[in-house]
Amino acid sequence: MTDLHPVRRALLSVSDKTGLIELGKALAERGVELLSTGGTAKALRDAGLVVKDVSEITGFPEMMDGRVKTLHPMVHGGLLALRDNDTHVAAMSEHGIDAIDLLVVNLYPFEATVAKGAGYDECVENIDIGGPAMIRAAAKNHAFVNVVVDVEDYEKLLGDMDQHDGATCPKFRRKLAQKAYARTAAYDTAVSNWLADALQLEAPRRRAFAGELKQTLRYGENSHQQAAFYTDGTNRPGVATAIQHQGKELSYNNINDTDAAFELVAEFDPTEGAACAIIKHANPCGVAKGATLLEAYKAAFDCDRTSAFGGIVALNQPLDAETAQEITGIFTEVVIAPGASDEAKAIFAAKKNLRLLTTDALPDVTAGGKTVRQVAGGLLVQDKDNGFVGLDDLKVVTKKAPTDEQMRDLLFAWKVAKHVKSNAIVYVKDGATVGVGAGQMSRVDSALIAAKKAERMADALGLAQPLTIGSAVASDAFFPFPDGLMEAAEAGATCVIQPGGSMRDDEVIAAADEAGLAMVFTGMRHFRH
């Protein structure tokens, strides 16, 4: 028996009717009999197509508000029967079951219903039952049956049929089956995770994750690694939902760094002033606030001009022409902002390799969610770090209390430190980072590196002294010994923000008092590995 099987009979039942009429007409022109249900059948008939209702072949009307319509042997027998099995063929003949060669189904919009914030009962009603059952049946029998779950595959189906005189080839059917099982898996994942959230289960016995391919990537972190980018359907403002206006395709590292940059700059409310974050290798090399975006960008750039070369720039306000012009002064990989003026876009148009991404909003840094990391043999899952510390949460632990101006810089430094790889040390002065130490095994080394960078920038900018003199310093976790704190003091820091909680807090506080530092505890740490 040939592996090419003609498509003579198709069952179409779709929630998303994009391209439905065109597909129905194309199938009818190729002599395919159309079966359908409910609204899909009506849409096809309204377009002038001849359609047989599923209820005609099952002998049962749709009932229970459409919950029961395709769960019937006349449907599933037509999908599951092995055409080369004599017993199956005999059963089909005995019970009057006709083969279904093509199933076109997309599911009730459960994910979209959850995303819009619908109530519990509405979400339950949007859990599809018949659709996944038919998809799985057709996918299992892909030796004979085509199952299409994506609108994007309509043309591919017709193309394969045309290539094989109305039949399809086994490789194509296998590809469709893989997509089908991935779709039902993603659907069940969405339902199970929604229920886990509704039940407030911190650690469900089984946890599933799913994504939809957004783009294949040229390679991963390195050229010998294959990679792809998947979206999770949450529609959080950021790189996954942004519009790319120009520039070549984003790379794996571009996506990772752009996400880090936009999540950081979102810490700064645009109604309270412009802010800019410049990221290199997922760490900030400059973050600043300013009266304008241009001012914020210049201050961020002056933190570490060397590292900013080839970096990612994130803004908390729509990009304007003046800032765009300044950014083009050095090579920049990506700029992401909640909008951009036409003038700014025109300026960037001259830079072919610069990618401009815009979103319709900033991400909500207080929103919940999960982060997932793969380890050998498993997955590490945790809540997103949406911890927030405000002025009223700070505890002054030294004899000297910070001034109001110092408090502003301390809170700024704390927001930045949350987004710096541990061990993190961040020096801030006048609403701008002036030194960042990231990812060191020792907190002392992070303090030293950040100070050394500040010294080099002072030389490059022709300053009389490093901007760490008179700065505020943030540590993402407690100082286990006074040594790291003293390095910050020697660099010129005058006030400190840190979580506290060390067995040697008293030693560290005493050292701060002796050095004349003001220090506050947050009671919260921000490890970022």
Q: What are the start-end ranges of the H helices in 199-271?
A: 252-265
The catalytic residue among 17, 72, 88, 140 is: 140
Nearest residue to 297 (alpha-carbon basis) of 332, 345, 267: 332
Q: List the beta bridge partners of residue 168.
A: 5
Does 140 qualify as catalytic in the annotation?
yes
**Pairwise CA distance, residues 476 & 528, whole Å:** 9
Amino acid identity, position 172: F
Mutual angle of helices 38-46 and 20-29, in 10-degree steps: 70
Nearest residue to 263 (alpha-carbon basis) of 251, 281, 279: 279
Strand 227-231 relative to strand 274-280: parallel, antiparallel, unpaired? Answer: unpaired
> Which DSSP string corresponds to 358-427?
E-SS---TT---EEEEEETTEEEEEE-------GGG-EE-SSBPPPHHHHHHHHHHHHHHTTSPSS-EEE
The catalytic residue among 164, 175, 214, 281 is: 281
Does 214 qualify as catalytic in the annotation?
no
Nearest residue to 361 (alpha-carbon basis) of 250, 232, 235: 235
E-assigned strand segments in 107-239 = 146-148, 167-168, 212-217, 227-231
Indicate the burial class of 170 (C-beta count within 10 angstroms; 0-12, 13-18, 19 or more). Answer: middle
Dihedral pair phi/psi, residue 377, rounded to 5°:
85, 5
Could you count the other beta carbons within 10 Å of the beta carbon of residue 166? 15
Could you count the other beta carbons within 10 Å of the beta carbon of residue 441? 9
Nearest residue to 433 (alpha-carbon basis) of 321, 322, 280, 323: 280
**Pairwise CA distance, residues 9 & 145, whole Å:** 10
Indicate the burial class of 314 (C-beta count within 10 angstroms; 0-12, 13-18, 19 or more). Answer: buried
**Pairwise CA distance, residues 313 & 334, whole Å:** 6
Evaluate the omega torsion of the peptide bond into residue 235 and state whether it is cis, within 30 degrees of 0.
no
Longest dimension (CA), the chain: 96
Q: List the beta bridge partners of residue 163.
A: none
Q: Is 505 left (phi over 0), alpha (psi -120 to 50) or beta?
A: alpha
| Residues carrying an active site annotation | 140, 281
